[in-house]
Each structure stands twice: as C-alpha cells, then as structure tokens.
Chain A
Amino acid sequence: RKEVEQDPGPFNVPEGATVAFNCTYSNSASQSFFWYRQDCRKEPKLLMSVYSSGNEDGRFTAQLNRASQYISLLIRDSKLSDSATYLCVVNSGYSTLTFGKGTMLLVSP
C-alpha cells in the first residue's frame, strides 16, 4: 500500500516562530514531491515542489531525503496567515498523487 505519513499535529506556535513539518513516504519509486496547503473547507493549493537538492521560496524551505524516504518543510518567521493544514503529497503512480492526512498549523498573535 502506498502511504504518506505526516506528524498528526496540530502545531500551535506564536508569530515569528520557526516550525518544521515532517513526512515519510512508502513508495520508493516515487519521483515527484510537493507541499500543498489547505485552508478549512477549501481546495489544496500548491505551496512548493520539493527537489532532491532542497529548495527555498522566501520563508519556506523544503528538503528531500530519498534514501530515508523523508520530506520536510520549514517555515521561518511564521505569520498569522500561515495558519492552515500542510499536506505532504507524493506521486505514487504514472498520474496519481497520494496525499498525507496533513498537519494543522495554528499561528497565534
């Protein structure tokens, strides 16, 4: 069974904090990896793709460790608007994305 596992959360952090999300995947053949965010009762929105060399987009940094089948997302200087559920997503077939259950982040003033 192709699974994506994430920290159960929720994470409660103050504004300005740094927070890290972890994710593991079971399908060693997966080639594409993403972080999406989902606001309550809304659609998943792409946050960033995750590349083998690691990548950064402003306050967000994603890392991939293929040997450990592990993906991470680091958010620096958290904002109130970062409050959402963060979804780890892995390509698990030719055209199939497998989603983790998500980790909820609550940023408080």
Chain B
Amino acid sequence: EPEVTQTPSHQVTQMGQEVILRCVPISNHLYFYWYRQILGQKVEFLVSFYNNEISEKSEIFDDQFSVERPDGSNFTLKIRSTKLEDSAMYFCASSPVVDTEAFFGQGTRLTVV
C-alpha cells in the first residue's frame, strides 16, 4: 500500500538553527500538506501546496517557514530560525485531489533545545 514517508523520525536542534524536514508524498497525489501537533494538543494546519506553489497557509506559517518541492518526489518544510515553541510533531500529508481525505506520514518529532 502506498504511503507518505518522512525523514528524519526525530530531530533535535538548538534554538536559532535552521532545520529541514523531508517528505515523500504518495506518487500520484497532487496536493501536499504540512501539519503540526504540539504535545497534548490538536493537529494544526500549516500549509498546502499544489502545482509548485502554496495553495493556502495558516497564521502559524510565518516568514520563518518555507516549503519546497525540489524534485519530482520530495517535499520539504524549512524552519529558518527555530524557537523553543516550534517543538512539535510535524506531519506531512498528501491527497490525490483537493477537498478529499489526506494521508499522513508517520511524522518528524522536532525538539528545539
């Protein structure tokens, strides 16, 4: 069964450092997403991406965040200068079309120290 894969599974970084989280969406899917979940809280939307550009973004997704599809398979989330409050589980997801169910990767646990 096709699945979304994310690397790394856990990343520890120092405050102020840049991090890049990587995702390989399901191959025939056209829409890609990043969500995050702070421990004990709900899953929150960050950004959606379609046709090589951002489709929608939330207020969480400020200038410190960026997304890129550097090649035909990878989808990345970059946090330029990490803060302690960026510590969370980051989930990548993809869907074949818009306004349908999304399939999630296993997540990257980001810990900022």
**Chain A contact residues, CB within 8 Å of chain B:** 31-32, 34, 38, 41-46, 49, 87, 91, 93-102
The 3 closest A-B pairs by CB, nearest first: A95-B48, A43-B104, A99-B43
Closest to B105 in A: A43
A-side binding surface: helix, strand, loop or mixed? Answer: loop
B-side binding surface: helix, strand, loop or mixed? Answer: strand
Q: Is the CB of B43 within 8 A of A44?
A: yes
Q: Find chain A residues with CB under 8 A from B101 CB.
A: 32, 34, 46, 49
Q: Is the CB of A41 within 8 A of B89?
A: yes
Closest to B58 in A: A96
Beyond known contacts A46-B102, A97-B45: 10 more, CB 8 A cutoff: A32-B100, A43-B91, A43-B106, A43-B107, A44-B43, A49-B101, A95-B48, A95-B98, A97-B35, A101-B42
